[in-house]
Amino acid sequence: MSNIQYDSVSTLVGKVKGLLEGQFRSVSIEGEVTNLSLSSSGHYYFTLSDKSSALSACLFKMDAMRNPAIREIKNGDKVQCIGGIGVYAKRGSFQVIVKRITKTNVGGDLLAEFERLKKKLAGEGLFDLSNKNKIPTLPKKIAVITAQRGAALQDFLNITKRRTLWSNVMVVPALVQGEGAAASIRKALFNTIKYSLENKENAVDVIVLTRGGGSLEDLWAFNDEALAWDIFNCPIPIISAVGHQVDFSISDYVSDLRCETPSAAAQILSEGQSQIISRLENIKKHLSSSGREIILARKDRVHSLRPEALMNKVMNLYQDYKFRLSRCSLEKREFELLGLHEQWQRLDESLKRMNLALERTLKDREHRVNKSFNMLGALNPSNVLERGYSYMTDSSGHVVASSKEFSKLESGAELDIQFSDGKNKVSKV
């Protein structure tokens, strides 16, 4: 093992670069143009592909000036290129450095096949709106068919987790690109339907077919005719969220709903719960505000029923009646001096009525004071405990108020039992 000579990454890439660029200095290649773009520096970048392979290509600015046909070429065109292989050491990748490019036909093989299949399936009714299933507003279980470690899955899960309370996402992994991808997606769809039939109480409410963006050849698995028929015959509603906004696939047309991105699919499926959560938050705020107002009002009411406050009111009434009585006594003497006997009798009757009224008022105030004391005593938790009652709390201080809550506690859970003269610890057996 000690005799093995290890190359650095740069050394190995340099060797590969020398071999490829030396052996493939001149190549002639035919393929379909996809992902065509023009950089700000005037270079053209695109992908040459057929049904099973793809190769990056570049036409630099000076060569583009010698090939004016490049300005007429668009995605989907079939072209013939002459150039050489170039290795980009920083990424360890290679591409065709095109020196000459010629368009051989107007439409590429992949685009032509896509349009042919699209037209055929449309004629067979697979895209008709009357055949679409309704997407559930509040799905409880969502099946996502996609690559297990793809960014599309993470985007979907993050949004669903943030915007929902009870949705359960079941990930069904599948190949979404390359050889065998269409068969893998079909198998995942079949397994999802089988699961729902065998688990009706926990059945899947909606299926999401999704993956991130890519070239036409990257997304080709979703243009499979057999997969289109599987989607059409699926008893569970299906959302197709393949690629980006500009990407369209056969699965988009035949599914029950097409979403531009995986994130858009997650937002649509979580919209119902998001609205409910918002409403519950508003109700919570309203109840909290109303509760504070009620508590303050009751607090003021209790304050007014305190013995000190009631006694002050009684004393004020007493002083008021005492003042009135003194006035009446003076007026009686004046009447006696004036010999107004009849007026005195009326005054005497008034005094008697006032005394009776005062007695009734004092008794009523005394009754209200006693009633308030009794009410305050009944609300005192200590008084309830002194009558033989007790209550339990768990380790977090939460009151265990029912048999149902007690049964949910784990065996061995520690509890505090509060008595009137102290508390003791117990454990659930």
Of 92, 196, 104, the C-alpha closest to 143 is 196
| CATH superfamily to which 9-107 belongs | Nucleic acid-binding proteins (2.40.50.140)
Stronger pLDDT, 119 or 359, i.e. the higher one: 119
pLDDT the model gives residue 196:
92
* Residue of 424 and 334 predicted with greater confidence: 424
Torsion of CA 221, 226, 232, 238, to 10 degrees: -30
The per-residue b/e assignment along 248-286, b for 16 or more CB within 10 angstroms, e otherwise, is: bbbbbbbbbbbbebbbbbbbbbbebbeeeeeeeeeeeee
The domain locations on the chain are 9-107, 113-272, 307-379, 385-427
- Provide the residue type at 256 as one letter: D
In this predicted structure, the answer to whether residue 314 has a pLDDT above a threshold of 80 is no
Please, is 353 exposed, middle or buried when counting C-beta atoms within 10 Å of its C-beta (0-12, 13-18, 19+)? exposed
What's the Rg (C-alpha) of the chain? 43
- What does the pLDDT read at residue 350? 79
Residue 91 has pLDDT above 80, yes or no: yes
Residues of the chain above pLDDT 70, percent: 82
Q: What would the pLDDT profile of 374-414 be if each residue is shown by its tens digit? A: 777 666 666 676 777 787 888 888 887 788 887 887 888 88
- 3 state DSSP class of 382: helix
| C-alpha distances out from residue 131 to 210, 238, 265, 309, 367, Å | 21, 12, 20, 76, 77
Does residue 426 carry a pLDDT above 50? Answer: yes
pLDDT at 223 over 80: yes
Model confidence band, residue 25 (pLDDT cutoffs 50, 70, 90): confident
Instruction: Give me the chain's average pLDDT, please.
Output: 83
3-state DSSP helix/strand/coil % of the chain, to nearest 5: 50, 20, 30
Q: Does the pLDDT at position 283 exceed 60?
A: yes
Domain covering 113-272 assigned CATH 3.40.50.2300 in the classification: yes
Which ranges constitute the DSSP H helices of 223-306?
A: 225-233, 250-254, 262-304
Statement: residue 316 has pLDDT above 70:
yes
pLDDT digits (tens, 9 = 90+) for 94-107: 999 999 888 876 44
Kindly report, residue by residue over 234-264, the tens digit of the pLDDT. Answer: 999 999 999 877 678 999 999 999 998 888 8
CB 27 within 8 A of CB 84: yes
Answer with the residue of higher pLDDT: 310 or 73: 73
Alpha carbon separation from 54 to 73, 103, 206 (Å, rounded): 18, 18, 34
What count of Cα atoms within 13 Å lies in the side-chain half-sphere of residue 300?
A: 5
Taking CA 312 as the corner, what is the angle to CA 309 and CA 315, rounded to the nearest 5 degrees?
A: 155
Segment among 135-139, 252-256, 289-293, 316-320 with least mean pLDDT: 289-293
Write out pLDDT tens, residues 195-217. Answer: 999 998 899 999 999 998 877 77
For residue 358, pLDDT over 90 is answered with no
**Span 290-300, pLDDT tens digits:** 667 766 666 66
The tokens of 404 are what? Answer: 């149902």
Residue with tokens 């409410």: 205
How far apart CA 210 and CA 188 sit, in angstroms, is 12
pTM (predicted TM-score):
0.47
